[in-house]
Every structure is written in structure tokens, then in C-alpha cells.
Structure 1
């Protein structure tokens, strides 16, 4: 008899997991996804900038992204459904810029990890940068790291939509409701209680609740160091468009900017970066004039004359422990699993993380990528599995 699985959260992580479970043979009739907002209007997936990179400092994160690119490029084949469209992918690369000896040393260290892992990162001197990307002002720079392949923008919304659609078509149940309690009375997971008053029996409960992940964990008597953090995005047009694609550029100021079709997209972390309520999407828009525009105009002088056409605030499900994913079973509560804490990397990591946890739930072990180091028990034991390259 198959395990009854309840997935809390139906955005890209929950839907990836649901689809991969069915693809690996778990009966769809034994899978229920509980999503509090079936419009998905205010979840991390809705506000993502939808990019993927290989420039991480952790080899496992690089491998996770490499499968993500494979999935993006071969999405129709993997889904094996004639209705599924291709995923648009614009591989303009990432460009990390360093202006201090410490930042330069970090880029060199990460470059070694990336090359050893098969990534296409190249280190560039200021002269190299000026030659290949003459729109940058290279004053003060010491080094750049540019991803030459398999990095850039992809259409994550289409990926999410078809995972969800196909999971539903295969018989996965999606409920619009809110989990308000988790049954742990038998020393393991026994089911969940919903705001509607219904109770769902379950052998396995997966916390894929994004920014609400810590609240879900508390229902099970567990601590999860994940909290919502605001991240700002602006889309703008330029009076003098660049003559070539703009890589996703991570300036030493912390501001990032990239190509966005015929326009450009900039993002930033506020200087004061506290945890916020999951419902709080209000913005302190002075950050644009005070920090973001000055930084991008200084680095790319053509951006002195621009017009903002759109802006929004999204949330990271930010892991305060080591800024890395928290994925897998909890040793203290059999049957409870986490798929959370992606700290801004969720969309690009969703293919590998959904597949990996599906493997674990079906087979009792990871079969393709060993995701064990992401396990939540590392938090209780204080063993960090850090990711230093967080934007």
C-alpha cells in the first residue's frame, strides 16, 4: 500500500514534487497538495526574477543547477506530454564583479570550485571586461567572473504551470485550504487539520510552504530558521540601449542588473533587512534613488537616462542558519519532510529538489543527486552547510 502524502504549499516546489512523485510511479490518488491561495498571487514563485546560474561556492548547488538547466532545455521531453511548450531560456550569463582583495580572493576560490564541477565560468581582468563588455565602467574593479554557458533567464512561470497542470491531470488532488494543525500524537506524522474543518490522514507530510515554512514547522513542534525577507525589483527602459546582452551583473554595491527582453531589470536587498510578515509587500521606494540607480548608473553610464516601467517587492524564504536549502526528513519526527529555505534560489533549484525528494519518498534514499547534506537535522546539530554566493 502506497504512503498517503500531503504537500503543504502548491507553488513551484510543491508542484515540482507532486509531478516528480507521479513520474516516478507513486499513485497520484495518494497525493494531496494543500495550497492556501490557488491564485498564487502573493507567493515567492509569483515575484521571482526567474534566473539560473552555476556560479555557486558549494559543489552540490552547482550540480543542482546543472540538472535545472538540463530540465529547462529538455522540458518537453521530460514531461512527455504533447501539450507542454518549450521553456524559453536566454543564456546571457552572470557577471560577478570584485573591487577589494577579499572579494577577488572569494571569486578565485569559487571559480576553482565551479571549474572542478564542470561549470563554464571564466575569470576576467578589468581589461578583459572592458574589451568584451565596453559598456561597463571598470574603475576600481580588480576581477570579474563571467558564466559563459548555462546561466541566464528562463520562463519559470511556464515550468510551474505545467508541473501543476500535469500533476492535476494525472490525478493529484489540489485543495484550496490552509493547514492549521499537524497530528504528531503517535510520535510520527498522522495527518493534518485544515481551516475548513476537514482532516486529512497522512503517512508523510511535506513542508513546502515557502515563507510560511517556519510556521508550518512549529505546528509539528519543530524549529525551522526560515523567514520572509523583502527583495526589490525594478524594470526599466534605457534611452541608450546597450549594443549587446547585459549579463546578470552583481555589482560590488550589492545591486544587480540584467537584460530583460528589450528592457532591463535591477534588484536590491534593503540595507535594513529584517524578517517581515508573509503578507507584507509594501516597499520603501526611496532605495531606488538612494542606492540602486546611482549604483547602476556608475557601473553602466548608459543607464544615467532610464525610465522605470514596473517595480515590485517579493520575498525570499531566507534560511538564517546557513543560507542554503533545507530538504529531507526530520529525524525527530518520522514522516515529516521539509522542502524549504532556498534563500532566493528556489525556482532554479526546483527541478532537482522536487525530483530528489520524490526519489527519497518513494525509494527511501536519493538516487540521482545525494541531497543528504541539505537535511534539516544539520540545524539541530549546528553543522552548517553554507552557500556564500547569495544575491
Structure 2
């Protein structure tokens, strides 16, 4: 979206809801608010980079899975799949909105230790209870269905071929943003540099822009992705979220596979999947995985040669002869406590709301999380899925949200 489609000056000096960050989460909350018949307030979305060139949304691999170990995460993804597959209907039947689908080649988890195999079995039981179609596979079954895998070291696999795979997150983002603006949400090109709280420190009264302008707010939403901790600090709040690099490569193979490649989670931590008809996508991170500056997108070229390619060529011998087509660096907004989201209001600064720390789950969870955040803003409670286990109280207590399936 071009900068000219954003205002550079607020049209009013106060808004009922100010959303800081206008990428997938800021736009999801804005859209779900406008879709709620019980809300008729004013909304300002403030986005520091209207080109969205460097936001986490722009660098996502845009996949969805139901293979989690916590039933709430499974339910969140099941709603996400429903939303994607019925996108036009959820968008009010607007004929301009495209029909979407999920390219369901599935996620293939491969376990090479008894402990990991037992984890897959336990997660499988949770997923089945929640309605997911996950299947466990022996090495022999994996080899029969996908002959290209080397399974010599594998004890068990887990895959779900229904509503797991690639989806067009960019289109969902575009239409949430477009529809929200058509419904009166104001998108401002600007950067929040400070916040003013009341004397008791229990409410954010206003946000200050780099331009010096001050905007009063009824409620404020932190949807700033890898910059989420810096935004929270403006309200005197600390959250354990930091930017961490995630690297992606698109490559072609001299001998393409004869069938679709599931998004394969190798025991090494490297993942690889089908991308186009004859291209593939691989991703991973460095072993030390440090926090980085939010504007650091430098590529680590040695990582491909030393870790990523050896892992995928070992798992899929046909990938010994491949050619990298393109590569990029993105960021996780990494929650160092438990790699799961922080959602809902702060327990002291009561009108400061979090949508932070998704740690790679963000795009696929955006329909359910955006809907839930809008419910909390309107009603002060969740009306559909109860997202309270993601609340800030666990951060204050250092109590991790239990989820074993982290990529």
C-alpha cells in the first residue's frame, strides 16, 4: 500500500482506540472491531513504515498448522483454517474479496529419539481430541508415502493433510486493512515515541508521535511485532520479547520430487517445504540465536552452507543438487519465556493491550487472536475462544504457557 493512502496528520486529537502497528495484527484488530455491531467508536492505526517492507508480516512463510501440544493452540488454528477457507463470507460476501484455500500438503514432524516420539504421541492425542486429523506414521509408512525421505534414523512421524500447509496471508492482510479503512479506520504514517500515563499509572492517556503531535486514547493496542518490548517500555512495562532472525531460502532441484513435499520439520530444527510447482522453501536459524536490532536484516550466508543444506540433503538425498533462487531474513517477535503470545490487557495499566511475542505463530493465529483482542476491547472479556491463558499475569509470575511444538 502506498504512503499516499495513509494520512500524515490525525483528523482528530483523540480516538477511542489507538493501535500501534498496522501490519497483520494491527489490521486484524481494526477489522474485527469494525465488524462488531456493538462497537461504533473511533480507531487510529499508527504505522511507522507504510511500505511494510521490513515488517515481520512481509517476511513470513505464510503457513498454518494444527499440530500443537496445547489444545488452545489447536483451536486457534482450527478457527484460522475456517476463516481462510470462508474468507469472502467472513468479509461480508464482498464480491471483490477473493476466495481463498489452504494448500494442504501438511506438516511432517520427524522424531529421531524415543522422547520426541512420545511427545508426538501425546500431542496426537490432544490434536485428535480437538478435532484435528493428525496421523502418526511409522518409518515404513513414511517411506511408502514419501519415497524421497531418508528415514534411517527416524522412529515416528506425524502429519496432518487437512488444513495444514500454505495460505495467502498477504491477501488476508491486504483486505483486512482495505476493509477497515473503507469502514472509517484512520491509518496514520507516523511513529510513536512516547506515552503519557495518568497520575496513578493505571491508564495511558495519550501517545506522542515523532512529529510532536499528541493523540489522546481511550485504549491502546501494542501490535508492533519485534518492536513490541520497546513499545511496552513507553508505558513503563517490561515484556520478554525480542527480535530474533529467521532465515529463508527458495531453491530449485536438479531432480524435482515426484510429489508435493510436506512442510518437513527435521530433527535438526531445519524445515523445508514445497513452494512452487518446482521450487522449495527452507528455513532455520543459527544455533546461538541471539537477539538482534529490529532493523538488522543482514543475511548469514554461511548458515546455508554449514547447516541448512546439509540437513535437507541428508533428509532428502535428491536435494544434493539444488540451486538457491532467492533468500531473505525476517524476524520472530520471540517470547523468551515460552515462545507463545502475550494477549490482553496489562494488569496495572488497564487500557494497555498486548498482541506480542508470537514467536513464529503470528500469521496463522491472527484470525482468532484479532477476533479475541477486539472482544476484549469492546466487552472487557472474551466471547468466543478464551484467550486468558495468554494473559500478562503469567509473564509477571514467570509461569510458562505449556506448548511443546515450537518451530
Task: State the TM-score bracket (shorter-chain normalisation).
Answer: over 0.9
Q: Give 1:376 shift.
A: 1.1
Counterpart mapping for 1:159-170 below 5 A: 159-170=172-183
1:122 matched to which residue of 2?
135
1:77 matched to which residue of 2?
89
1:295 to 308, 311, 332: 311
Counterpart mapping for 1:100-139 below 5 A: 100-139=113-152
Runs of 4 or more, structure 1, over 2 Å off, are 25-29
2:300 matched to which residue of 1?
284
2:219 matched to which residue of 1?
204
1:217 matched to which residue of 2?
232
Is residue 28–residue 172 contact of structure 1 (8 Å, CA) maintained in 2? no
The Cα offsets for residues 271-314 of structure 1, whole Å up to 9 and x where unpaired, read as 12010000000011111111111111111111111111010010
2:45 to 33, 38, 42: 33
2:30 matched to which residue of 1?
18
Counterpart mapping for 1:1-391 below 5 A: 4-25=16-37, 30-80=42-92, 81-186=94-199, 187=201, 188-262=203-277, 263-391=279-407
The Cα offsets for residues 146-191 of structure 1, whole Å up to 9 and x where unpaired, read as 1121100000001001100000011100001011111112431212
Q: Give 1:87 shift.
A: 2.3
Is residue 248–residue 282 contact of structure 2 (8 Å, CA) maintained in 1? yes
2:154 partner SS: coil
Q: Give 1:48 shift.
A: 0.2
CA distance in structure 2 between the aligned counterparts of 1:42 and 1:382, rounded to whole angstroms: 31
Is residue 15–residue 44 contact of structure 2 (8 Å, CA) maintained in 1? no
Is residue 323–residue 386 contact of structure 1 (8 Å, CA) maintained in 2? no
CA distance in structure 2 between the aligned counterparts of 1:45 and 1:372, rounded to whole angstroms: 24
RMSD of the TM alignment (CA)? 1.2
Q: Give 1:388 shift.
A: 1.8
CA distance in structure 1 between the aligned counterparts of 2:118 and 2:340, rounded to whole angstroms: 22
Q: Give 1:25 shift.
A: 2.9
TM-score using structure 1 length: 0.98
CA distance in structure 2 between the aligned counterparts of 1:109 and 1:301, rounded to whole angstroms: 30
Ranges in structure 1 where 5+ consecutive residues have no aligned partner: none
Q: Give 1:88 shift.
A: 4.2
Matched residues, number? 390
Is residue 15–residue 216 contact of structure 2 (8 Å, CA) maintained in 1? no
The Cα offsets for residues 176-222 of structure 1, whole Å up to 9 and x where unpaired, read as 10111111124312121111111111010000000000001000000
CA distance in structure 2 between the aligned counterparts of 1:222 and 1:292, rounded to whole angstroms: 37
Ranges in structure 2 where 5+ consecutive residues have no aligned partner: 1-13
